[in-house]
């Protein structure tokens, strides 16, 4: 077998490996939803002519954190979102990004442009990164600043940047931004270098009230859902996140964790200082939702229930021996009901499913839960979905990247201008094709 496993315990060993120009796939935490880690050696195609390929574990490189006087967090090495949050809490600060999987490493999150719940208030991750350092193909550490423009001699860059403008308000476009220098590493999934250090904005650790609303099943009537969606858009300074778990999600929680009875749940995180205002101006003024449908919930239970669903889905898929079949689609507000209507039709194919995610951002995760012999109708539904997302000018993968599992769906979103720039950047920053050569930049 051409696969070799290697674990790095310090940056020096990693640099030595990079200097050898050996084609490698680098990973940390194994929390990605677009990389089938349990089937990696089966699904990772070895590039033609490669006799040795390395699977490289970065989780053992020592991590370090420092809080600057301006409130920015500087971290190096293997630091998880959970560790960063705990560190910042001790300093009276907090992250602006709140991914579902807090055990994932932040450097990996930068590579995929992982976002999360709090984008509703604080925007996407790429705008929060002030600077970063990365190792290039020769093991040299380079520094990038967001105040500097992205530079490339590629003739496709200008057209590429013009195409991206339609996605400025999305968490991620179907391709990386490439406007600021830091964009070289954000969302490129480790195909151009390895992130070693990140300086990221943080916020005050303010108190938050957590509220949930019990609503009808979205498959039957989403009028109440859309009333919430429209109302919260005007209060992004006070409402930190707006999240959905549908009634089907509750089937994957323990009995004492379930909320409601065959009902959908929408959660709101509200700044405590603004809670009374939001309660009076928003929560008491819904036409389709009564005050008896609105409840407060503790912080710990909120996070436990919200994070419990995607984790449970992962476990169920692993037990059934199937690869996760879920979406990561974000559309504009104008097309949000189009997306919901499509999911309504998709729910009728006779396969178990659930819907959850970042409702306030019109960014949802629709997950089929098939048996091994039910994958065909799911794949057919997804092909139709992505054809519509292209028509709606939406983003097919707004949060978790493309990896291996999504490549067959992303091709139609990349024109010659995108693929030409990808090839030029790979030649410039990865001349030996040693960084994740199976990634989307050179996919066939």
* DSSP code per residue over 339-403: HHHHHHHHTTSSS-EEEEEEGGGTEEEEEE---GGGHHHHHHHHHHHHHHHHHTT-BSBSSS--T
Q: Reduced to 3 states, what is the DSSP secondary structure of residue 57?
A: strand
Query: Residue 125 phi/psi, 5° resolution?
Result: -65, -35
Span 231-252, pLDDT tens digits: 999 999 999 999 999 999 998 8
**pLDDT for 322:** 67
The per-residue pLDDT of the chain, averaged, comes to 94
pLDDT, position 234: 95
3: enclosing H helix or E strand: strand 3-7
Written out in words, the top-level CATH class of the domain with range 64-204 is alpha beta
Percent of the chain with pLDDT over 90: 81
Residue 1, pLDDT > 60, answer no
Which pLDDT tens digit goes with each residue over 123-132? 999 999 999 9
Q: What is the pLDDT of residue 442?
A: 94
| Cα torsion 430, 431, 432, 433: sign | positive
pLDDT confidence of residue 361: 97
Band the pLDDT of 98: cuts 50, 70, 90. Answer: confident
When mean pLDDT is compared across 98-112, 302-316, 335-349, 363-377, the lowest value belongs to 302-316
> Residue ranges per domain, the chain?
3-57, 64-204, 208-391
Residue 316 has pLDDT above 60, yes or no: yes
What is the fold, at CATH topology level, of the domain defined by 208-391?
Vanillyl-alcohol Oxidase; Chain A, domain 3 (3.40.462)
| pLDDT score recorded for residue 254 | 85
The mean pLDDT value for 163-179 works out to: 94
| Residue 420 confidence (pLDDT) above 80 | yes
Q: What does pTM read for this prediction?
A: 0.94
pLDDT one-digit tens code per residue, 2-39: 899 999 999 999 999 999 999 999 998 888 888 988 88
């Amino acid at each position: 077998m051409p696969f070799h496993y290697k674990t790095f315990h310090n940056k020096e060993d990693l640099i030595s490996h990079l200097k050898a120009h050996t084609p490698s796939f680098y990973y940390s935490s194994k929390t990605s939803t677009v990389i089938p880690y349990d089937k990696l050696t089966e699904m990772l195609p070895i590039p033609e002519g490669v006799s040795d390929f390395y699977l490289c574990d970065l989780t053992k490189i020592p991590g370090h954190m420092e809080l600057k006087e301006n409130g920015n967090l500087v971290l190096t090495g293997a630091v998880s979102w959970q560790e960063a949050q705990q560190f910042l809490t001790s300093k009276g600060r907090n992250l602006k990004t709140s991914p579902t999987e807090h055990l994932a490493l932040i450097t990996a999150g930068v590579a995929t442009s992982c976002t999360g719940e709090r984008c509703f208030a604080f925007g996407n991750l790429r705008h929060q990164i002030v600077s970063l350092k990365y190792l290039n193909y020769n093991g040299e550490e380079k520094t990038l600043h967001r105040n500097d423009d992205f530079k490339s001699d590629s003739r496709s860059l200008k057209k590429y940047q013009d195409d991206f403008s339609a996605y400025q308000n999305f968490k991620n476009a179907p391709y990386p931004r490439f406007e600021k220098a830091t964009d070289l590493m954000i969302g490129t999934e480790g195909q151009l270098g390895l992130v070693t250090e990140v300086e990221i904005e943080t916020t005050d650790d303010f108190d938050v009230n957590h509220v949930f609303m019990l609503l009808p099943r979205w498959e039957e009537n989403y009028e109440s859902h859309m009333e919430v969606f429209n109302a919260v858009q005007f209060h992004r300074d006070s409402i930190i996140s707006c999240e959905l778990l549908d009634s089907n999600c509750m089937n994957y929680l323990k009995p004492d964790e379930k909320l409601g009875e065959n009902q959908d749940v929408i959660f709101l995180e509200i700044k405590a200082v603004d809670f009374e205002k939001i309660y009076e101006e928003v929560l008491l003024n819904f036409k389709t939702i009564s005050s008896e449908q609105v409840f407060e919930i503790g912080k710990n239970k909120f996070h436990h229930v919200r994070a419990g669903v995607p984790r449970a889905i992962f476990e169920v898929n692993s037990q059934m021996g199937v690869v996760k079949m879920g979406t990561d689609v974000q559309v504009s507000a104008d097309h949000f009901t189009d997306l919901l209507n499509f999911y309504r039709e998709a729910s009728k194919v006779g396969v178990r499913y659930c819907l959850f995610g970042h409702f306030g951002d019109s960014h949802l995760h629709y997950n089929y839960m098939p048996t091994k012999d039910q994958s065909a109708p799911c794949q057919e539904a997804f092909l139709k979905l992505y054809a519509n997302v292209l028509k709606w000018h939406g983003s097919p993968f707004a949060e978790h990247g493309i990896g291996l599992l999504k490549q067959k769906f992303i091709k139609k979103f990349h024109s010659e201008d995108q693929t030409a720039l990808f090839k030029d950047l790979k030649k410039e920053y990865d001349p030996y094709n040693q960084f994740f050569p199976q990634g989307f930049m050179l996919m066939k």
